[in-house]
Chain A
């Protein structure tokens, strides 16, 4: 167990205590852990398992089943590119290739400056103004490669302001 993860465990414990009374509490717990920490640290699994009276394998099985949950820290921003049919009809395949080249990573990868994690998504429901990407909780429509670069530049300049 790393020192960093030890610091995270009290947060996990607090989340579990707050939510475990809910019927079918596991997904709400995993969502909240990922919301607060950015990912689900593997060290959180035994703690969640014990609180819900389930096996570690059960918890791991759920985490690994869903595309959303991750067990490593993501970049500062998550960028999801829609791969579904409506976006394909408007050039999503080219946009995907462009996104991977521009960021220098494949899906589930994080840029070397830890700023952006690239993910795939199957439909954001913005199908009449496709192709679409989601940047954190913001969805953007009619994304051309040029617009994609502009959006990424904005994310990079935001990081500089914070620093």
Chain B
């Protein structure tokens, strides 16, 4: 999978360079800037997860958000996802790691869905643009939707 990602990226970069050198340069600059921006947060989260995984062992993780934890574990995962603000490219490998350490697919589905769609920390920004009523309604619906996603992922995967 990682290899095809590289192939697609290099192909697109080639096409972009062939079509417009300047735009490609700009794109590369943007990529670098985005990467630089996220790097500290990224490193912080990796270290934090490393620490957490070394303290909480497999048994603990699978007890709290394991496949046997049912809707209770799913609720905990969804709440964690709603509160935290982790970029996808940190969240996905982290989740893969948690699954390897005993977390359940349904629970991880709830975590990822809530993480992406619900933003408690960013709610003040959202309110600035969309007012309180829409912000609350959107986040509540997205939170509830996370359980539908979790349920279906739990059934399918």
- Are A and B part of the same complex? no
Q: A-contacting residues of B (Cβ < 8 Å)?
A: none
